[in-house]
Structure 1
Amino acid sequence: MKEQTYRVFEAIKLDPLASQQSLADRLDMSRESVAGHIMQLTRQGYILGKGYLLAEQNTYVVIGGANVDINGHSGTSLALHDSNPGTITQSPGGVGRNIAENLARLGEHVHLIAPIGVDQRGDWLIEKTRLSGVETHNVLRHDTLPTGTYLAISNDCGELQAAIADMRIIDSLDEHKLSTKQALLQSAYSIVVDANLTVKSIEWLAQQPLEALFIADAVSTAKAPRLRSILPKLSLLKVNQDEARAILDSNEEIPEKLAEALLAKGVKEVLLSLGSQGVLFANAENSQRKACHPTLPVSDTGAGDALLAGYLSACQQNKKLDQALSFALACAAMTLESAHANHPELTVQHVTQWIENL
């Protein structure tokens, strides 16, 4: 940032509602010059909107799916092709939205960019997300497509047996709509994308001259290959083993070799979920496995989203690698013990206490 532009920026920080003329008088500059510097600050993402809304440090922007989760949990051993007694619940979901909520609950400042329908479910979803602490004013409403819905069936052990995802609306989040959020993207500390986005949207993001760290969640085996074009841009990639094999088009069975292959593609850090075996972290200097914490699962929906958010939060807390992985796994374990995709008491304090009580 040039010196004169920096002076204008500092003056705005002191008085965000000041007029351009008052700023000019204070800085001994012309109003036209101040206006030019403000335009430059806006283009660069330091100013986000009217009233000189300033970009905040360490802001996450999460781009991806947001939908309503309808979860059926069988009360007895699941019988296929038959009706099963159990419970049915509704909760906010979507990989991107879940990650955003978890980050917000862990104390991070998070904006969500996601397409949501103009319908009753959409209104409910936005309100629930806002109440969790996520900034929702960048959500994009779609007036013809319905809000995404994810229907999951779990057995009596909480293990997912089948699911149907109506996510047609996510394809409406194209590069044109993303370009309307350019100022927010420019201001972000980290941008988290999930592979629900279309290949074109992911490629558009990869081509933007952004300073933010790029982080991605592979979502599923079918969608993970969409991230191939952005791999060299990624500071962190969270995948499971099947998703890693799908990205690499590989039959490799050894987790460490999967991680090495992803690093060779340009990914800076890999967070490889090993399911019930824990997690593997790898970068150019380190490779470390960490076993899961003991837990009594209720539902495994959202556990991977909590794992990623927990790791990012731990990094912001400047935890050492072993502690960061333990914290991330604790977030996942607490979510496994919840009937919903997001644990309602997922805070740094509660996660820390949960670990101490093991």
Structure 2
Amino acid sequence: HHPLNYADSNPGKIKFTPGGVGRNIAHNLALLGKNAWLLSAVGGDFYGQSLLAQTNQSGVYVDKCLIVPGENTSSYLSLLDNTGEMLVAINDMSISDCISAEFLAQHQEFIRGAKVIVADCNLSEEALVWVLENSGETPVFIDPVSAWKCVKIRDHLSKIHTLKPNRLEAETLSGIALSGREDVAKVAAWFHQHGLNRLV
């Protein structure tokens, strides 16, 4: 492990792992013995094929995923220094836009038949709103993903059954600073006043 030399080729270790917030949740549900389907989009590239194969191998049904020829499968690349600290990261997630309300509408009956719907804020606001307005009686669980992306759901909390924000996401959505334990109750009360059923 040597220090990084910029503008030069550096020896190092490169590791590929399947990921994605929704995919990881589906993967873990399958490991817990639950039936889990993934509705997502991948490119017609090697990474897309590999991701679908590995996800299916873990027990997740991937037959409803959209394969988009000519597009890149979502990827996240982080560069770490010799101490393990991140120097820079790049994400290429534009294919997420293909998970549109129109695409989801093609699976409306299937989605409404689920026991639980899990979505994350990597989806467009249009797609998230479609899920929340067309889920029927099925409870919707949301992972906000980031403070930047969670604002998409601020006006739709009453349609969400369970929300799992971290501290920054909870502060961003509620506008209340979490400075101490006493603030937790204030933030929780704010979410419930805005119609959220459960805050985790």
TM-score range with shorter-chain normalisation?
0.7 to 0.9
Unaligned runs of 5+ in 1: 1-74, 272-358
Relative to structure 1, the CA distance from residue 156 to residue 269 in structure 2 (aligned partners, 3 Å threshold; closer, same or farther) is: farther
- 2: CA distance between counterparts of 1:156 and 1:212? 47
Number of the residue aligned with 2:139: 213
Number of the residue aligned with 1:138: 64
Counterpart check, 1:120 vs 2:70: no
Relative to structure 1, the CA distance from residue 180 to residue 153 in structure 2 (aligned partners, 3 Å threshold; closer, same or farther) is: same
Deviation at 1:264, TM superposition (A): 2.3
Counterpart check, 1:181 vs 2:181: no
Q: Write the deviation string for residues 95-134 of structure 1: whole angstroms up to 9, x where unpaired.
A: 1111111111111110000011111111111001100110
Aligned length: 196
Q: Write the deviation string for residues 217-261 of structure 1: whole angstroms up to 9, x where unpaired.
A: 011111111122331122211111111122224444344433332
Q: Write the deviation string for residues 143-197 of structure 1: whole angstroms up to 9, x where unpaired.
A: 2321111112346676655422100000111111000111211210000000001
Structure whose alpha-carbon radius of gyration is higher: 1
Deviation at 1:81, TM superposition (A): 5.8
* From 167, 173, 181, the counterpart of 1:247: 173
Number of the residue aligned with 1:262: 191
The root-mean-square deviation of aligned C-alpha atoms, in Å, is 2.4
Q: Write the deviation string for residues 239-288 of structure 1: whole angstroms up to 9, x where unpaired.
A: 111111222244443444333322222221112xxxxxxxxxxxxxxxxx
Give the TM-score taking structure 2 as reference length: 0.87
Deviation at 1:90, TM superposition (A): 0.3
Contact 1:203 1:229 in 2 (8 A): no
Percent of aligned pairs sharing the same letter: 33
- 2: CA distance between counterparts of 1:190 and 1:171? 23
Relative to structure 1, the CA distance from residue 127 to residue 262 in structure 2 (aligned partners, 3 Å threshold; closer, same or farther) is: same
Contact 1:202 1:230 in 2 (8 A): no
Contact 1:206 1:229 in 2 (8 A): no
Contact 1:150 1:166 in 2 (8 A): yes
- 2: CA distance between counterparts of 1:159 and 1:107? 35
Give the TM-score taking structure 1 as reference length: 0.50
Number of the residue aligned with 2:155: 229
Letter paired with 1:101: H
Structure 2 counterpart SS, 1:201: helix
Equivalences for 1:141-180 in 2 at 5 Å?
141-154=67-80, 162-180=88-106
- 2: CA distance between counterparts of 1:79 and 1:256? 45
Contact 2:112 2:134 in 1 (8 A): no
